[in-house]
Amino acid sequence: MSVLGREESGPRHALHDFMAQVTAEMGSEYERIFARSIEDPATAGDEGEENWASLFRQWLPPGYHVQTKGRLLGHDGRASPQIDLVVLKPSYPRKLLEKKMWLAGGVAAAFECKTTLTAKHVRDSIDRCVAFKSLSQPRTGTPRRELTSPLIYGILSHSHSWKGAASKPLENVEAALSLEVKVDTPKELIDIICVADLASWARVYTAKYDASWLSVEQSVELRRALGSDWAVTTSMICAPESQGGVFTPIGAFLSDLTRRLAWQDASVRDIADYYRLANLDGQGQGGMRFWPPRVYSDETRARVSAGQLSNGAMWDEWAIGGF
């Protein structure tokens, strides 16, 4: 089932011009890096990571620290696989900023960086996302806290491998993402993907989706499959570069990443709201996955079932959707 998300682009804003410049720079860097990638793929990968790190240092709030190449360390001593790029919280200990074993509780976001995205990269990242997010402490108390991880995880790429005239790159990415069906909990799903010359994908949630909102046949199937009159839904909203106008995938990605940071850092909310109101997000859509109410704790499930949710309130962890 498809769900429409994000608003249509509005009048051109200076921010859109800045994002067009960033996109052009990323494209130019891709051509330069790709030209030598066959003879030295390791250096090409490192340069690609630095492109994204530079973008983050220029556009994320200045209190955040951006580092490349390292592993996350859980509170129990478990270490993650290597990750290409991390965004460290402003509270991260200065003494440890240059160490390559990042304390998981101080990592706001972790990204895989690819110069040219393939379906295998997406498929591999599904399992890697679970490994990284498993290092975070489970959270309870609100729908948002129970459906999402404190760690933002995503994939960044300059371009993609599907350049033939008959190729369908958007469909290929989404086909690879369909393997997320093996992930057992919403909070271990990939949050965000940006392919600079193709599209941006962003995970969204509905805290409670009533079976009555579906057709009769679909509602019967939902009740049969989940044993409930309502479900939680997750969607990966794809905003494609092909929508034209002022939209850029990088602009949508930076808006979405800033918004995700703002959920845990209220000082970022003003600029996150500004990006949204300036229509950096563009327009997108994606399919819905239904989850049983048991993904919640007993207390939260009881409140959600009773309809104790707000409708459309910004920055409300009890909102019916929008996070």
Please state, rounded to an integer, the average pLDDT across all residues of the chain: 93
Length in residues, the chain = 323
Write out pLDDT tens, residues 9-57: 445 689 999 999 999 999 999 999 888 777 778 788 889 999 999 999 9
3: pLDDT strictly greater than 80: no
With 90 as the cut, is the pLDDT of residue 204 above it?
yes
* % the chain with pLDDT above 90: 87
Between CA 111 and CA 120, with CA 115 as vertex, the angle to 5 degrees is 75
> What b/e readout covers 205-237, taking b as 16+ CB neighbours within 10 angstroms?
bbbbbebeebeeeeeeebeeebebebbbbbbbb
Residue with more model confidence, 71 or 8:
71
pLDDT digits (tens, 9 = 90+) for 164-178: 999 999 999 999 999
Q: What is the phi/psi pair of residue 297, to 5°?
A: -70, 165
pLDDT confidence band for 8 (50 / 70 / 90)? very low
Q: Quick check: 314 and 274 in contact, CB under 8 A?
A: no
Mean pLDDT over 93-109 rounds to 96
Q: What does the pLDDT look like over 106-141, one tens digit per residue?
A: 999 999 999 999 999 999 999 999 999 999 988 999
Whether pTM > 0.85 for this model: the answer is: yes
Confidence at residue 313, expressed as pLDDT on a 0 to 100 scale: 85
- According to the model, what pLDDT value does residue 11 have? 58
Please determine, for residue 322, whether its predicted confidence score (pLDDT) is greater than 90: no
